[in-house]
């Protein structure tokens, strides 16, 4: 079994679809299927169960695929070590962030990184927190900008900055002229929040639970921009992270909270075994 064949196995396992896996690996579907069948015959083990509707991994197949993933990760690490030896600030660097941060931090940050490390091939990735942590463990990304807490014995977590929450209301809302908000007084209102899976929702819910604030149950937004539009329309109020706020806006009033302000802490997270710690340090310095 060679590395290419291992990559076929992992692609099928990840995508659970032979056609999509073939596209991902830039081979024809018959070629990929034939190679998988050849591997199964060579090992005398059934790795996948498949029919016209779905692809399932056998128990033996799970162990084989897990080993293949580890081998591919180590091969990639060998390449990175060799590349790093020539120039620690060159080659690919895959930097990720969750959606409610990426939109607002990447545009200003990327030009600074390129100026500081011009030979670096920066690849930007946006995904939800749980997926990014999993991709860090798998070696699919080099570092991620995440909101604390982040857990994982194999991960290094470096806090960068605190991002305060402000209350967002429409100009016609009774709270619009408030200069500073006592978070406890929000108990009489219902907050618009993001849908499940967004870490910003988790942070907002934590504040809600601490101060007996209710969530608006009839609506959950898919993005911060949707929340913003709902506030503009006077449909409700929400908590907005400061990094996402344009203070020049006139159709939304942003009200700071009294101290202690609710906030989230943004950190850069990477593997303890990473060969790209020098790059991470430079990014850390830019954002701290």
pLDDT at 229: 92
Percent of the chain with pLDDT over 90: 61
CA distance 181 to 175: 9
Least confident of 133-137, 144-148, 223-227: 223-227
Residue 144: closest CA among 202, 161, 134: 134
pLDDT at 85: 73
pLDDT at 45: 93
pLDDT at 116: 93
Does pLDDT of 47 surpass 80? yes
Q: Is 213 in contact with 238 (CB distance < 8 Å)?
A: no
CA distance 110 to 172: 38
CA distance 229 to 221: 10
Query: What's the pLDDT band for 35 if we cut at 50, 70, 90?
Result: very high
- Model confidence over 164-179: pLDDT tens digits? 999 999 999 999 999 9
Give me the half-sphere count of Cα atoms (radius 13 Å) on the Cβ side of residue 226: 11
Q: Is 118 in contact with 91 (CB distance < 8 Å)?
A: no
pLDDT at 5: 92
91-116 residues labelled b (16+ CB within 10 A) or e (exposed): bebbbbbbbbbbbbbbeebeeebeee
Q: What is the CATH number of domain 3-82?
A: 1.10.10.10
Does pLDDT of 57 surpass 90? yes
CA distance 109 to 135: 22
Average pLDDT over residues 195-201: 79
End-to-end CA distance of the chain: 46
CATH architecture, domain 162-264: 3-Layer(aba) Sandwich (3.40)
Per domain, the residue ranges of the chain are 3-82, 89-151+268-287, 162-264
Q: What is the CATH number of domain 89-151+268-287?
A: 3.40.190.10
- Model confidence over 243-272: pLDDT tens digits? 999 878 889 999 999 998 889 999 999 999
Does pLDDT of 187 surpass 80? yes
Residue 282: closest CA among 93, 131, 141: 93
pLDDT at 249: 81
pLDDT at 111: 95
Whether the domain at 89-151+268-287 and the domain at 162-264 fall into the same CATH topology: yes
CA distance 7 to 19: 14
- Model confidence over 68-120: pLDDT tens digits? 998 998 888 788 777 777 778 888 899 999 988 999 999 999 999 999 999 99
Does pLDDT of 156 surpass 80? yes
Mapping DSSP onto H, E and C, the string for the chain reads CCHHHHHHHHHHHHHCCHHHHHHHHCCCHHHHHHHHHHHHHHHCCCCEEECCCCEEECHHHHHHHHHHHHHHHHHHHHHHHHHHHHCCCCEEEEEEECHHHHHHHHHHHHHHHHHHCCCEEEEEEECCHHHHHHHHHHCCCCEEEEECCCCCCCEEEEEEEEEEEEEEECCCCCCCCCCCECHHHHHHCEEEEECCCCHHHHHHHHHHHHCCCEEEEEEEECCHHHHHHHHHCCCCEEEEEHHHCCCCCCCCEEEEECCCCCEEEEEEEEECCCCCHHHHHHHHHHHC
Q: What is the pTM of this model?
A: 0.72
């Amino acid at each position: 079994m060679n590395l290419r064949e291992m990559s076929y196995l992992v692609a099928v396992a990840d995508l659970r679809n032979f056609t999509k896996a073939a596209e991902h690996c830039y081979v024809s579907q018959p070629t990929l299927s034939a190679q998988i069948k050849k591997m199964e015959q060579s090992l005398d083990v059934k790795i996948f169960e498949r029919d016209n509707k779905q692809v399932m991994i056998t128990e033996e197949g799970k162990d084989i695929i897990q080993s293949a993933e580890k081998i591919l990760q180590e091969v990639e690490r060998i390449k990175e070590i060799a590349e790093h030896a020539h120039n620690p600030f060159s080659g690919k660097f895959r930097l990720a962030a969750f959606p409610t941060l990426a939109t607002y931090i990447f545009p200003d940050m990327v030009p600074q990184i390129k100026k500081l490390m011009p030979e670096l091939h920066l690849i930007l990735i946006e995904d939800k927190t749980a997926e990014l942590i999993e991709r860090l463990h798998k070696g699919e990304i080099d570092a991620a900008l995440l909101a604390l807490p982040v857990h994982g014995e194999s991960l290094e977590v470096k806090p960068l900055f605190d991002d305060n929450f402000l209350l967002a209301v429409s100009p016609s809302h009774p709270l619009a002229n408030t200069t500073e908000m006592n978070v406890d007084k929000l108990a009489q209102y219902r907050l618009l929040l993001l849908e499940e899976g967004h870490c910003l929702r988790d942070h907002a819910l934590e504040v809600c639970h601490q101060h007996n604030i209710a969530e608006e149950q009839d609506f959950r937004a898919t993005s911060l921009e949707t929340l913003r539009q709902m506030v503009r329309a006077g449909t409700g109020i929400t908590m907005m992270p400061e990094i996402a706020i344009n203070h020049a806006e006139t159709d939304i009033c942003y009200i700071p909270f009294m101290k202690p302000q609710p906030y989230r802490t943004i950190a850069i997270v990477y593997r303890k075994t990473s060969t790209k710690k020098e790059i991470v340090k430079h990014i850390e310095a830019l954002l701290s």
